[in-house]
Amino acid sequence: IDIISHGKTGILIKLKDTHEMSKVLYNLCTNDELRLEIGKSAKIFVKNTFDIKIINNKWKKMLSRLSKN
């Protein structure tokens, strides 16, 4: 699972590209709508992907399949 989806749940930049990083940080600091939308999408993604109930159900299903084999 990719935790960061570029432009949706975060912004990816090339390693050691400080110029691009400064542009992205400036954009996030000055664009409230973008910052809030990315934050909201990231929160929803994490909640829907890593919630303990969801993980628990995935483990139950996997263990059930394994015990049937």
Q: What is the mean pLDDT of residues 54-59?
A: 93
Question: Exposed e or buried b for every residue in 27-44, given b needs 16+ CB within 10 A?
Answer: eeeeeeeeeeebeeebee
The pLDDT tens digits for 19-40 are 999 999 999 999 999 999 999 9
What's the pTM? 0.73
Q: Please state whether 16 falls in left (phi above 0), alpha (psi between -120 and 50) or beta.
A: left
Structure tokens of 23? 């542009």
